[in-house]
Amino acid sequence: MLSQWCTMDAGLVWLGFLVSIAILLILSRKNMGLALVSAGVALGLFTLPLVDIGVLILTTITDPSIALLALAMGIIPLIGGVMEESGQMKGIVENLRIGKKPFLALSPALVGMLPMPGGALLSAPLVDRGGQNIDGGTKAAVNVWFRHILFLIYPLGPALIASAKIAGLSVYEVLPYLFPAFLLMFLVGYAFFFKGVGGKLTYSKSFSLKRLLIPLMILLAAPFIDFSLQTLLELPVAEI
């Protein structure tokens, strides 16, 4: 009897999971926020009592750490958009006087540090510029691979912040465990995508240390400030 009940309960959970995935896929074509909320509620209806669902929703929307986390998730792509529109990201790329292989790996990774809608389209011309002798399929793979590689260890990556919050851990607690995976991804991408690639890029403009350092300082100052505040001060809410 107990085994039958457990089987039925597990079947209901799987049904709820499949329904929520279907809702997510359908509604995400219109609005991602609506899709995520609807899929979450649908999954809850299959796995939790109605009272518990209401309590969880109320607890979530009134939790200051969740509100601040959502604010941070909104600000990060805005910073990326401003840096792109103001030419700061272009300044980094134009003054990275390095070989083709490091350029192809680093340029999409730097753009990827500040994710934004359509961000892959912004890094694609950089990869195209650095890989004139590479076929189109490989350039597309390089763009996607290295654009997302820093997500594993960049403290202000939205995916890392959100997943660490769900796990109840600090971002800086999980970084040492993620670094080996980051190193492996980097080495695999470098070994498989850059066969036969060599030489240096040519630049039409003279080197500008200012145009290189200012945007790099913006990218690196944010995690430094975040780590310093969390280390030196006893904040009532860590997400501040």
Question: pLDDT of the chain along its 240 residues, tens only?
Answer: 434 444 547 778 889 899 999 999 999 888 888 998 899 999 988 888 888 888 988 988 898 888 888 887 778 778 777 887 888 877 877 787 777 888 888 888 877 776 665 666 667 777 877 777 778 888 888 888 988 888 888 887 777 888 888 888 888 889 999 999 999 999 999 888 887 777 777 777 788 888 888 888 887 787 788 888 878 888 888 778
Cut 0.75: pTM above it: no
Same domain, 114 and 6: no
- 239 inside domain: no
Q: Please check whether residues 191 and 75 belong to one and the same domain.
A: yes
Beta bridge partners of residue 99, listed in sequence order: 200
How many separate domains does the chain show? 2
The sign one gets for the Cα dihedral 123, 127, 128, 130 is positive
In a domain, 100, yes or no: yes
Verify that 162 and 220 share a domain, yes or no.
yes
Say whether both 55 and 149 belong to one domain: no
Is residue 215, in this structure, part of any structural domain at all?
A: yes
Domain presence at residue 237: no
Which residue range is the domain that position 98 belongs to?
65-232
Are 48 and 145 found together in one domain? Answer: no
Tell whether 240 is covered by a domain: no
